[in-house]
Chain A
Amino acid sequence: MRVLLKMNNLQEYLAGLLDDPCNEVVEQAVAYGMIPLGYTCSLIPEPVLSAGRLFPLRLRAPGVSGTETADIYLSSVICSYTRSLLELALDSKYDFLKGWVFAASCDHLRRLYDNLGYLNKPEFSFILDVPHKNNEAAMEWLELELEKLRTALSSHFNIDMSDEVISTSIKENNIMLAELRSIGDMRKEAMPLFTGTEFHRLMMALQAAPRKLLSDIPGRFRDAALKRGGAGKFRARFMIVGGELDDPAYTGVIESMGGRVVADRYCTGSFPGLEPISESGKPLAAIALYILEKNRCPRMMEEFDRRADYIINIAREYSADGIIIQTIKFCDTWGVESSLLVAALRDAGIPVLRLEREYRTGGEGQLRTRVQAFIESMKK
């Protein structure tokens, strides 16, 4: 691991972990007898999937080149993240997984759950029903759902999922989140020590491999950034907002035009993903509260203003010059949300660029042109 003292080497290592769903650390974990579980949405509680020998993997579709087979089943009007996952599943790329855990988060992911069950039924599959509202009744409902998930995992994999085990998992998870949060906070500096792409890669790698085996990585990242002493010049500071974005190359294209991504409010980003879960009280109640209180997903029905304020506050806290909203084509929730967000952000005096994209990073030329024009429109 000595080679990871330098940022470039560390980044190369992290990028390697993102090349294949079954990367070397996952293989190593499986060899140790650990059990990999795939999940597709931020509403899935990682600490539950990290109990005992279990470990969660945020499902991505690296290297997917087309979705011809998935389109036959899901049609071509479904979000390409969903289609890409099905394509790779049909290509046996996720066969190493011992189970899939879904959330009934959106129409597209729900239908992925259905199609996967029909075409390539996983050994273990569960769909968590997360309410679309945040109130006492919803909290009780979600707690019951989490209880069902716990029971299903415990009985299928024959592991101890007691309150104590989950509480320990929450504590371990919180330690990692706190470390990542403190690194993320470094982006508030006038000249951040690392790029948004580098941070994005760090975040993704820690979701694409068992964190228990990568616990030293955040520290190494911080050390390497401090040692390097700077990440170069830029013209404008950006916050990226939107749904699923798991390819650091997309952030890379934005930064290649002189942008510096200093805040990330998307499904796999640090906002609100790095907020801690309460360690007091019953663990499943704490997780239910966390899911309903902390998530900022537009599938939650009553919280548009809260979500918009959250974004505006972060943009100000991190001195973002502008916000880039990126959404995957055909995403209904983000499709409506982003049209309202554009208006809300402009009202708040924040420049906004709205981009629609496919899951797989492509059309780089167009993206560069749009970002360049955006930076120029801000007179940066």
Chain B
Amino acid sequence: MNRQKPGIADAFILLKHKIINWAVILGMVFRRGVYYMLLDLKRYPWMMDLLKVNRLLNKFAAGRTGNYRKAVSLVVTQVTKDMVELLEGIFHHRDRLVIHEDMVPPEILRAMGLKPWMPEILGILLPMMDPSVMEKYIDAAENEGIPPDLCSLPKATMGLAVKGYIPVGQAIVTSNLPCDGGMNSYALIEKKLKLPTFRLDIPYNFYNDEAEVYFAGELRRMISWLEKHTLGKMDWNLLREICIERNRMAEIELELWDMIRQKPAPVSAEAVYISHLWGFNVFPGYKSSTELFRKIASLAKGNLDKGIAAVQDEKYRALLWNPPTMHFIDLFAWAEQAYGVSLIMDSMSYNRLPFIDTENEETMLRGLGRNIMQGPMARHTRGPMENFFDDMFHIVKAFDIDMIFLAGHIGCKNTQALNGILREKARELGLPVLIIDYDLSDTRIVPRTGIMAQVDHFMENVMNTKKRI
């Protein structure tokens, strides 16, 4: 088999981004001052773990060449720059800092002149860099009496709260998404942080006009509440700008998706899904996020024009369902090499939402509300099972998918309870499905090698394919 081998130019891409990442971090230290930085490191020990960002770069770059390597490296560098901005919000704008749950997007907070901090971001990002790093926080939550069977992401976030490592801002905004565990975790976080808390309530059936009106009302109530409890003041013009920028990013993403529909795909995996995860959930409406998508789309186009595949000898096109395997984030970098599996699309990225109508306050709130209610994961864990399966099988068709990797996070009871139906429906369609048994943030449940063994077993026995490496 003729596999791509990274060359000198590829090594240079990696080196360049490592240097940029360090320069970004050192810039932050310089602006903060060494003394205060050391105090911050003592106050928030997880900041030390964030310094391992170049490990993430190594993982994403492994085996990737050319434009594909450039694209995944750009994603990591963007994450580094944006994390620094978030941290500087903690350092310099504590009077405007608002804690927001991961399913409450930050557009409105930013339009109010507030600085958002998403506590779950650490449980998402840190295991990608250092797989076992959240386990001490998981243990801290369990020692507080939180049941071990609860999803490890809210559990780790609660552990951070128990240890006093969540920055104390002025207020908390959270919601009933994405699951009961996540929703209830904020009862504990609220107690520990002793902050006024607003909770958004997303209806069960949200694909209707009544739900949109109700939820736009929820967002209005949140804005009024924030104006009362924080220094934030709603700037509707700024919100319009943010929504317009978000729409631009979404437009480019659609172009990117059109390109990855081609066989073989010109870019795939993290270039497509981490960019979405970050750009749409953590930094929506930023010019830098739009620019990231523009660059990735341009790299994809470059590959497409030259007939270069992201994964040489792309053999299988995969759909990843559920959040990615955080502590084995290079699963697909490995699967590309081992089996020629190209990750085309994932449930966290894909949506069929219209752009946000920026005509007036109400249309923006309804658009943002729709994005929250009907956004990835939110719509799969709320509402009837049709929300889950219709989307899944639509993606399979739209992106010419050969197989589904379902990241069967043991703590996600909501989706575990649909696995039986999934097996039967997939069997009817002749669609191979691998349900990976593992825990999102805890390597002690199933380690990296355990996940690899499950993939090996599936590829060899179900797909009847030999391992390339």
A interface, CB within 8 angstroms of B:
72-75, 77-78, 104, 106-108, 110-115, 117-118, 127, 129, 131-133, 135, 137-138, 141, 144, 298-299, 301-302, 304, 329-330, 332-333, 335-340, 342-343, 354, 356
Contacts and interface: CB of A to CB of B under 8 A. Distances in A.
A209 B407 CA distance: 43
Contact of A335 (B149, B210, B414, B419): B149
B87 interface: no
B381 interface: yes
A121 to B, nearest CB: 13
Given A114-B384, A137-B221, A138-B201, A78 B417 contact: yes
Interface centre among A107, A141, A299, A336 (most CB of B within 10 A): A336
Nearest to B411: A77
B416 A332 contact: no
Interface in B150-178: 150-151, 176
Contacts of A335: 146-147, 149-150, 181, 184
Interface in B172-204: 176, 179-181, 183-188, 191, 197, 199, 201, 203-204
Interface of B: 144-147, 149-151, 176, 179-181, 183-188, 191, 197, 199, 201, 203-205, 210, 214, 217-218, 221, 381, 384-385, 410-411, 413-414, 416-421
Contacts, number: 135
Interface centre among A113, A138, A335, A356 (most CB of B within 10 A): A335
Contacts of A77: 149, 410-411, 413, 416
Nearest to B184: A336
Contact of B421 (A115, A135, A332, A354): A115
Contact of A332 (B184, B210, B419): B184
B201 A144 contact: no
> 8 closest pairs, A vs B, by CB?
A339-B145, A73-B420, A111-B417, A336-B184, A335-B147, A104-B204, A129-B204, A114-B385
Nearest to A104: B204
Contacts of A108: 413, 417
B323 to A, nearest CB: 16
Given A114-B385, A339-B145, A132 B176 contact: yes
11 contacts: A73-B421, A74-B416, A75-B413, A111-B418, A133-B199, A302-B197, A335-B181, A337-B184, A338-B145, A340-B187, A340-B188
A184 B385 CA distance: 41
B210 A144 contact: yes
Given A304-B187, A335-B146, 13 more contacts: A73-B419, A74-B417, A75-B419, A78-B413, A107-B180, A107-B381, A129-B204, A132-B201, A298-B187, A335-B150, A335-B181, A336-B150, A339-B144
A75 B385 contact: no
Nearest to B187: A304
Given A74-B417, A115-B420, A356 B205 contact: no
B204 A141 contact: no
A277 to B, nearest CB: 23
Contact of A356 (B147, B176, B203, B204): B147
A257 B146 CA distance: 28
Contacts of B147: 329-330, 332, 335-336, 339, 356
